[in-house]
Amino acid sequence: MIVIDSVDKTYHLKGNDVEALKKVSLTIEDGTIYGVIGYSGAGKSTLVRCINLLEVPDSGSITVNGTQLTWHDSEGNFHRKTNHEMKKVRRGIGMIFQHFNLLDRSTVFDNVAYPLKYNGLKKEEIEARVTELLELVDLSDKRNVYPSQLSGGQKQRVAIARALANNPKVLLSDEATSALDPEATASILNLLKELNKKLGLTIIIITHEMSVIKSICHRVAVMEKGRVVEEGDVYSIFAEPKQEITKKFIASQSSLAKVSTLVNDPLVNNPAEGGRLIKLTFLKNSVGESLISLVSQKFNVRLNIVLANVEMIQDSPLGEIIVVIKGEEKNIDAAIAHFAEQKVKVTELEAN
Ligand SMILES: Nc1ncnc2c1ncn2[C@@H]1O[C@H](COP(=O)(O)OP(=O)(O)OP(=O)(O)O)[C@@H](O)[C@H]1O
Ligand SMILES: [Mg+2]
């Protein structure tokens, strides 16, 4: 388990202080794929680099698998593990980056062998372990080639094998798919998911793309200006985002994002013709779309579907349907109340 409690970090630049982290607290359970999302400068990298003390906070406590890396004593004084003490801790925490950070003059084999050599393993042990790691990332046939001969996705696989060399419990991933095309991104995300299952690896993924969060994360923290502004399991966050920034991130990858233009399109939403534009959100525990025709009959209203979309999040469906509802005002109100009773969330969309 990783526990981050009230962590602050300010960078002091010439005549200008940057508060990168402000009272950040998070708990990450073992075996979780945990996403951290936010715009550029939100403090994501700073936060994640605190987990292996590549970045040292100014205050707050950080505990990784029971070992305190930073803490306050009973008088409130701040303490940290020394770099020497951190050597052992860092072995238990692997890290991968956007630009892979491979040694260009070394073969794939030597890149993966590097941390093992550093730890003084024997030649035969290194040989066996690298072979095993390359199998794990499906790159056995590339062991003697150089990074320049690999695709971006393959380079990231080498970086993952290297990060896992010492059998870490935790893998930190800082924008590891940001430099990859969609296909390579999907394959790296699948690999991470597989490693999480197979090895029970805890993975912390920094990204600015909600699609990455949606496809593999169990939980997510949304960061804005050095703070965690929203946190929760991925399904709940998608079903009921609370902060504006979270809604924006979700809209950025949803095919329902078009709705903001639709609301203002007189062909869809013409106040002169009456009717209201509403969004219905069907959660995993609510009844399906047949409800639409039932409601239409029961309350004598007309429901025209404008857009519909079903997302699979953590293997559960999250359905969203945008409809124009027309009829007598009191019937519309009754229909909307009925949807809510059936655990369907109703959001009225208004023209700007
Ligand atoms: N070494 C540093 N020295 C000074 N300021 C820094 C340093 N590292 C980060 N910052 C500042 O701290 C803030 C948070 O930076 P951080 O790199 O953690 O953001 P981020 O969310 O990872 O952004 P990005 O998505 O661009 O990687 C930014 O304003 C940044 O300019
Ligand atoms: Mg960053």
* Structural domain range at position 105: 2-244
Q: Is the CB of 17 under 6 A from ligand 1?
A: no
- Closest ligand 1 atom number to CA of residue 43: 18
pLDDT at 268: 67
pLDDT at 287: 59
From the CA of 46, which ligand is nearest?
1
- Shared domain for 200 and 272, answered yes or no, is no
Instruction: State pLDDT tens for residues 275-294.
Output: 888 989 888 776 566 788 88
Q: Is the CB of 49 under 6 A from ligand 1?
A: no
The rounded Å distance from CA 198 to ligand 2 centre is 28
pLDDT at 342: 87
Q: Is the CB of 13 under 6 A from ligand 1?
A: yes
Q: Evaluate whether residue 337 is within a structural domain.
A: yes
The rounded Å distance from CA 153 to ligand 1 centre is 26
- Shared domain for 82 and 214, answered yes or no, is yes
- Shared domain for 28 and 135, answered yes or no, is yes
Look at residues 194, 218, 244 and tell me which one is the last residue of a structural domain: 244
pLDDT at 320: 87
Q: Evaluate whether residue 156 is within a structural domain.
A: yes
Q: Is the CB of 297 under 6 A from ligand 1?
A: no
pLDDT at 350: 77
Q: Evaluate whether residue 249 is within a structural domain.
A: no
Q: Evaluate whether residue 229 is within a structural domain.
A: yes
CA gap 143, 107 in Å, rounded: 7
- Domains in the chain, number: 2
Q: Evaluate whether residue 113 is within a structural domain.
A: yes
Burial, 330: exposed, middle or buried (Cβ in 10 Å; 0-12, 13-18, 19+)? exposed
Sequence-separated contacts (24+) of 90-93 with Cβ below 8 Å = 90/52, 90/53, 91/119, 91/166, 91/168, 92/64, 92/65, 92/166, 92/168, 92/169, 92/170, 93/51, 93/52, 93/64, 93/168, 93/169, 93/170, 93/171, 93/172
The rounded Å distance from CA 32 to ligand 2 centre is 21
CA 153 vs. chain centroid, Å, equals 19
- Shared domain for 77 and 203, answered yes or no, is yes
Look at residues 189, 213, 244 and tell me which one is the last residue of a structural domain: 244
- Closest ligand 1 atom number to CA of residue 55: 1
The rounded Å distance from CA 210 to ligand 1 centre is 20
Instruction: State pLDDT tens for residues 111-166.
Output: 999 999 988 899 999 999 999 999 999 999 999 999 999 999 999 999 999 999 99
CATH number of the domain to which 123 belongs: 3.40.50.300
- Shared domain for 59 and 150, answered yes or no, is yes
Look at residues 215, 244, 273 and tell me which one is the last residue of a structural domain: 244
The rounded Å distance from CA 343 to ligand 2 centre is 39
Q: Is the CB of 43 under 6 A from ligand 1?
A: yes
The rounded Å distance from CA 45 to ligand 1 centre is 7
Q: Is the CB of 45 under 6 A from ligand 1?
A: yes
SS3 69: strand
pLDDT at 261: 66
- Shared domain for 132 and 64, answered yes or no, is yes
Output the tens digit of pLDDT for each of the chain's 352 residues: 999 999 999 999 888 999 999 999 999 999 999 999 999 999 999 999 999 999 999 999 999 999 999 999 999 999 999 999 999 999 999 999 999 999 999 999 999 999 999 888 999 999 999 999 999 999 999 999 999 999 999 999 999 999 999 999 999 999 999 999 999 999 999 999 999 999 999 999 999 999 999 999 999 999 999 999 999 999 999 988 999 999 999 988 877 666 666 666 766 666 666 788 898 988 877 656 678 888 999 999 999 888 888 888 888 888 888 888 999 999 999 999 999 888 898 988 876 5
Q: Evaluate whether residue 137 is within a structural domain.
A: yes
CATH number of the domain to which 293 belongs: 3.30.70.260
- Shared domain for 32 and 180, answered yes or no, is yes
SS3 85: helix
- Shared domain for 269 and 345, answered yes or no, is yes
pLDDT at 311: 85
CA 335 vs. chain centroid, Å, equals 36
